[in-house]
């Protein structure tokens, strides 16, 4: 007899990732499928259903082996009620996702936002394994954050804890953010920020690989900037160094308040590795009292883009396995 498992879903604006996760947080099988954003809510539920069937065919598992399904959603949620209050990228407004999935699948469902799910995934079986107090930042197009306190995600007064993308990090001369303010963490250190920095630099270039990419495509990608920096391109290296400095300093300020055991940095930008983490750590150490950071480590995420579905599965793991109802 197979041991029972969880299904984790990471719903993104571009793709849906779904996986079978065992009771230790190991991923057994995964699938990915484009998100039919324009087709709307019910079509996305239909895709969920098809993907689950595919997973079962692929794995020999079936619904009777599933303890429950967790889903991470790029949205503001009422996590208790399982309602997606607002998901701008999906066009959802007050959608009873938990109730609808429970009706569709007849198993327990838990939902949380995508950044919180990623943080829980890294805590369960990733870079934060074994820690009880974590901050997890996901540096992608935007910046997601999750705060874990005493081994569980902390939501705050109305589910906004960890929404660190709009912390002001450059009050003077920062870029305008679509939140209406200037110099947010997101406008200065996300992949989008790296692209903006690079585009400003490209203007002054007459030649070079970044300029070539720009001439060919009309833009540059954060990935190219990171790769060129890793190959020693001084302009790209300066861009990544600046991002690292801002991040390190901002993380220090967070540590005074939260004194976490681990800070996990994930998302595309974290793939820069050493060229990001070296200046980050240097700026962090400069800004923090040694005593406050003596039990804190800053580490790159381990689960990559599977952190979200792993953490989504953890929501069920905690409720139905750790704290059996």
In 3D space, the residue among 273, 254, 253 whose CA is nearest the CA of residue 265 turns out to be 273
List of residues contacting a second copy (CB under 8 A):
76, 133, 135, 145, 147, 149-150, 154-168, 179, 181, 249, 252-261, 287, 289, 291-292, 294-296
Taking the complex as a whole, the smallest distance from the CB of residue 75 to a second copy amounts, in Å, to: 12
Taking the complex as a whole, the smallest distance from the CB of residue 150 to a second copy amounts, in Å, to: 8
Nearer to a second copy, 142 or 159 (CB): 159
Phi and psi angles of residue 198, each rounded to the nearest 5 degrees, phi first: -65, -40
CA distance 186 to 252: 17
Taking the complex as a whole, the smallest distance from the CB of residue 85 to a second copy amounts, in Å, to: 9
Nearer to a second copy, 31 or 258 (CB): 258
Nearer to a second copy, 28 or 167 (CB): 167
Nearer to a second copy, 24 or 157 (CB): 157
Taking the complex as a whole, the smallest distance from the CB of residue 203 to a second copy amounts, in Å, to: 28
Nearer to a second copy, 23 or 253 (CB): 253
Spell out the residues 6+ positions from residue 83 whose beta carbon is closer than 8 angstroms to its own. 77, 94, 95, 96, 97, 98
Contact 249/287 with Cβ under 8 angstroms?
yes
CA distance 224 to 14: 21
Taking the complex as a whole, the smallest distance from the CB of residue 304 to a second copy amounts, in Å, to: 25
């Amino acid at each position: 007899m197979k041991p029972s498992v969880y299904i984790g879903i990471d719903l993104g604006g571009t793709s849906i990732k779904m996986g079978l996760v065992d009771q230790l947080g190991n991923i057994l099988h995964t699938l990915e499928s484009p998100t039919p954003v324009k087709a709307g809510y019910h079509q996305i539920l239909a895709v969920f259903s098809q993907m689950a069937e595919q997973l079962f065919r692929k794995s020999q598992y079936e619904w009777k082996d599933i303890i429950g399904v967790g889903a991470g959603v790029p949205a503001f949620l009422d996590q208790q009620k399982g309602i997606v209050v607002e998901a701008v990228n999906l066009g959802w407004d007050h959608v009873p996702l938990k109730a609808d999935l429970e009706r569709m699948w007849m198993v327990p469902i838990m939902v949380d936002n995508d950044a919180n799910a990623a943080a829980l995934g890294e805590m369960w079986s990733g870079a934060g394994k074994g820690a009880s107090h974590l901050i997890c930042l996901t540096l992608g197009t935007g910046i997601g954050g999750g705060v874990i306190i005493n081994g569980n995600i902390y939501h705050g007064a109305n589910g906004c804890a960890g929404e660190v993308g709009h912390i002001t990090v450059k009050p003077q001369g920062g870029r305008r953010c679509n939140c209406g303010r200037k110099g947010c963490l997101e406008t200065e250190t996300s992949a989008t920020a790296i692209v903006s920095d690079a585009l400003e630099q490209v203007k002054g270039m007459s030649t070079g690989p970044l300029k070539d990419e720009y001439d060919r495509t009309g833009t540059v990608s954060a990935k190219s900037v990171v790769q060129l920096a890793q190959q020693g391109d001084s302009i790209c290296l300066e861009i990544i160094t600046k991002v690292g400095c801002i991040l390190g300093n901002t993380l220090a300020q967070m540590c005074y308040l939260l004194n976490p055991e681990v800070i996990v940095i994930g998302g595309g930008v974290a793939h820069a590795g050493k060229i990001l983490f070296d200046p980050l750590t240097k700026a962090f150490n400069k800004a923090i009292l040694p005593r406050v950071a003596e039990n804190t480590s800053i580490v790159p995420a381990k689960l990559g883009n599977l952190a979200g579905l792993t953490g989504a599965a953890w929501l069920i793991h905690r409720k139905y396995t750790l704290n059996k109802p």
